[in-house]
Amino acid sequence: MSQPSAVPHESEHHDAEPILSVRGLQVDFGGPHQAVADVSLDLHAGQILGVAGQSGSGKSLTALAALGLAPTNADVSGSIRFKGRELVGAKESERAKVRGSGMTMIFQETVTALNPVVQIERQLELALRANVACSKAEAKDRIVQALQDVQLRDVSRVLESYPHELSGGMCQRVMIAMALVCGADVLFADEPTTALDVTVQREVMDIIRRITDERKLAVMLISHDIGVLDEVSDRLVVMYRGRVIETGPSSAVIARPQHPYTKALINSIPRIHGSHNEFIEMPPLDFEEFAPVDHQGREVVA
């Protein structure tokens, strides 16, 4: 695993106020266990926070709760503050003002996220004009610029295309452009490279990293693949059974994992050379026995 030189050091963000601050977040569906239990995390401008964990660990639900998109039968409590404004308990009309123009999300499946019977230009225009007051000409300029920012070539053809006429990688870039065209400050990216080949995965991750740096976005990058997160994230959060069990600068967590679940995730990363590693299927851990680990800003200097 290698760290790209573009990744900023944790110290650049340590003293800055977070754009999004989550404290004691709980999402309860009334069952014996909470889907999200006492999760706290911060998103800072110009920083990518990687959130790792297997399916069902609460990664995506944390992001949906922050956006106010948790299922209607979910009881959401705790604190979610966007630029100092408390969102838990806020009216839906207030939450709707934040979504799109303030916080936005790239969903996992572009097949379901993009409308198959509407051309790309129209989909981007609808997303933009729903959140930003602008003329049709201004909307066109912003849309073209957003597509150029995600390095899509032949923008005119892309705008006239339907989703099925584009490759998976191109559709994912369109989704990134759609998420950013309204000028949001916070981006949630939920498994943005699922079903893409390795080369396209790298291109998409490079785009997210570059746009984060250029626009000073605050990004939560969600993935079950801790190896992918290691390459692009500034900080890393590991979730297990709805809880944060380890957090810190990515370099520190990867180099010195303390929690047995984190060690198992890292052990599952495929390697070209060396011994064969597999994810170790673990029984439910006693959270009192294995307390959450916070690396407290310590970094590993290569």
- 8, part of any domain: no
Answer whether 207's CB lies under 8 Å from 232's CB. Answer: no
Same domain, 89 and 238: yes
> Which range marks the domain in which residue 87 is found?
16-102+186-192+216-302
Query: What is the number of structural domains in the chain?
Result: 2
Please tell me the distance from the alpha carbon of residue 271 to that of residue 249, in angstroms, as a whole number: 22
- 66, part of any domain: yes
Same domain, 89 and 115: no
Amino acid at 109: E
Ranges of the chain whose pLDDT falls below 50: 1-13, 300-302
- 249, part of any domain: yes
Answer whether 221's CB lies under 8 Å from 229's CB. Answer: yes
* pLDDT score, position 2: 38
User: Is 0.85 topped by the overall pTM?
Assistant: yes
Same domain, 36 and 79: yes
Answer whether 75's CB lies under 8 Å from 27's CB. Answer: yes
- 202, part of any domain: no
Please tell me the distance from the alpha carbon of residue 266 to that of residue 226, in angstroms, as a whole number: 7
Pick the last residue of a domain from 124, 159, 183. 183
DSSP β-bridge partners for residue 28: 75
* pLDDT score, position 268: 79
* pLDDT score, position 9: 40
- 242, part of any domain: yes
* pLDDT score, position 301: 44
Same domain, 89 and 220: yes
Same domain, 92 and 118: no
- 11, part of any domain: no
* pLDDT score, position 13: 47
What is the percentage of the chain residues whose pLDDT exceeds 70?
A: 86
